[in-house]
Chain A
Amino acid sequence: MPRIKLPTPPRPSALQPKPPRPGEEDKKAGPLDVAAEGGIRAVDWIDERTSLSSATRWLLFRKVPKGTNWFYTLGSASLIAFVSQATTGVFLAMYYDPSANHAYESVRYITNEAFLGAFVRGMHKWGSSVMVVLVFLHMARTFVFGAYKYPRELNWIIGVVLLILTMAMSFTGYLLPFDQRSYWATIVGVNINGSGPIIGPFLSDFLRGGPDFGATTLSRFYAIHMLLIPGLLAALIGAHLYLVAKLGTTAPPWMKAEADPELTKATA
């Protein structure tokens, strides 16, 4: 049986296990020890079949360069906003009916009658604003710190695609409540798409499901909003995070790399 060895994460001295006192070593295993042993066995069983422990170690115990500060949390904050949107979106989808005849009534039901419906809908609506703001701040941090330069160019490109998809999420989601405001704003938005060169008219026809805003338009927007774009977003977020873990987060550009003083002493 291979026993995995995880390095002990650094802990404050108060939390570190105390060495056993003389005469205590042979104490019988208590229920806690048995539970811990069971947990280790379960993890071992999975690890023997997947070798996930090395990936976990690589992901969690990689070092983050000196000088990283609170600005570096904006990326994970955007991720949290996405997770919140996905979760509240699932609950809204349980009640929402994407047909032109029933969409408005189902949103009215969510807002006025469903348990905590107005709260969850409010979280979804405002979560989109929060996500857009966080994504822009995250991009600004990357830009100011020059973090899009070698070797992280590809991750910048994935990030810009994520930004475009986020805006597309907001655009397709705006129609779904199907009130006057969302309906007419979407008509204008689709017409604006149509004024683009070459692919513009095709894109507009694709979004509307035909030359006119018809019965299938709403279900089309719904499918794009809750299947197509979220799938793309999740996949690209995965790629984005993989590259972050692989390449490491940048150090702030002001940090000076100084070799270990021990080494410089030796060469002097």
Chain B
Amino acid sequence: MKQAEKEQYLREYAILKSQGKPFFPYAVAKDSAMAVVVMLVIIALSLVLGAELGPKADPTTTTYVPRPEWYFFFLFELLRVIKPPILTPLATVGVPTLAMVLLLTLPFYDRSAERRPERRPVAMAAMILTVAAMAFLTYQGANAGSPNSVDMPTPTSLSPTQAAVFNQGKLVTAQSGCLACHKIGDNGNDGPGPPLTNVGARLPAQAIERTLQNPTAPMPSFANLPPQKLSALVAFLSQLK
């Protein structure tokens, strides 16, 4: 911004300010009305949605796949979208740091005197794109199936006993941390392991059991699961066709 533009702005601002109204009581009245609305919203959210308390933290569980607060969903989703492990630091640290640096230094690279949004197409396009990307990633993150449960429907062709085993296997899958590396339907992470949505069509039950007991690294072995749980797991996975 050139010196002449600065002086021009200060002159125009002084005129607009002199034609304005005193902060008290005019702006204070609006601010107070807004304050009442904010407090009512917070109280309503507290009364309607409350604050749940989950099970106590247990450092010995290795299967809990966490989810952040909703306003960090876009970061969380960014982490899921960027797959190759080499690029992970880019998603986790690179993008947010870059965004913060760009925000902090904004007044130093946007130096034009123009303030009307319709005459700042680059700035407005950048903002709309950022907001749209954040909104999209937040939506995706919110709708990603929970990583701690499998939402596959029980096939209707199964007999009641088979359906019970199927549901037990589903539970074992969710509790054993399979979803940290495998995608099943809408749940779980797509990688590093292959998706298991149709694993029953690809492998017979015996092959699935063998893989669970003697997997290729980095997959952990499930050989020391109780036999009943293991068979339920195998039965469930072989039904995924």
Residues of A within 8 A of B (CB): 9-10, 59-68, 70, 72-74, 76-77, 80-81, 84, 104, 107-108, 111, 118-130, 132-134, 140, 143-151, 153, 156-157, 160-161, 163-164, 170-171, 174, 177-185, 187-189, 192-193, 195-197, 200, 213, 248, 250-251, 253-255, 257-260
Sample (26) of A-B pairs whose CB atoms are under 8 Å apart: A60-B24, A61-B22, A61-B23, A63-B22, A64-B21, A66-B16, A70-B30, A73-B34, A108-B53, A111-B51, A122-B49, A123-B42, A123-B45, A125-B46, A129-B71, A140-B127, A174-B68, A177-B53, A180-B56, A182-B54, A189-B68, A192-B79, A200-B93, A248-B13, A251-B17, A255-B16
Closest residue of chain B to A263 (Cβ to Cβ) is B15
Q: Given the complex, which residues of B lie within 8 Å of A170, measured CB to CB? A: 69, 71-72
How distant is the Cα of A81 from the Cα of B38 in the complex, in angstroms?
7
Closest residue of chain A to B64 (Cβ to Cβ) is A184
Q: Knowing A63-B20, A257-B13 are in contact, say whether A185-B53 is a contact too (CB < 8 A).
A: no
Interface residues of B in 15-38 (CB under 8 A from A): 15-28, 30-31, 33-35, 37-38
Of B96-104, B184-192, B197-205, the one with at least 4 CB within 8 A of chain A: B96-104
How distant is the Cα of A156 from the Cα of B109 in the complex, in angstroms?
13
Q: Given the complex, which residues of B lie within 8 Å of A189, measured CB to CB? A: 68
Q: Given the complex, which residues of B lie within 8 Å of A171, measured CB to CB? A: 72
Interface residue count on the B side (C-beta < 8 Å): 79
Q: Given the complex, which residues of B lie within 8 Å of A197, measured CB to CB? A: 89, 93
Residues of B within 8 A of A (CB): 1, 5-6, 9-13, 15-28, 30-31, 33-35, 37-39, 41-43, 45-47, 49-51, 53-59, 61, 64-72, 79, 88-89, 92-93, 97, 100, 103-104, 106-108, 110, 113-117, 120, 123-124, 127, 131
How distant is the Cα of A250 from the Cα of B14 in the complex, in angstroms?
11
Q: Given the complex, which residues of A lie within 8 Å of B13, measured CB to CB? A: 65, 248, 250-251, 257
Q: Does B23 contact A62, Cβ atoms closer than 8 Å?
A: yes
Q: Does A64 contact B20, Cβ atoms closer than 8 Å?
A: yes
How distant is the Cα of A170 from the Cα of B68 in the complex, in angstroms?
10
Q: Given the complex, which residues of A lie within 8 Å of B39, measured CB to CB? A: 80, 84
Closest residue of chain B to A249 (Cβ to Cβ) is B27
Q: Does A196 contact B93, Cβ atoms closer than 8 Å?
A: yes
Q: Does B12 contact A253, Cβ atoms closer than 8 Å?
A: no
Q: Does A257 contact B107, Cβ atoms closer than 8 Å?
A: no
Closest residue of chain B to A111 (Cβ to Cβ) is B53
* The residue from A121, A143, A146, A177 contacting B114, defined by CB atoms under 8 A apart: A146
Q: Does A179 contact B54, Cβ atoms closer than 8 Å?
A: yes
Q: Given the complex, which residues of A lie within 8 Å of B113, measured CB to CB? A: 149-150
Q: Does A183 contact B57, Cβ atoms closer than 8 Å?
A: yes
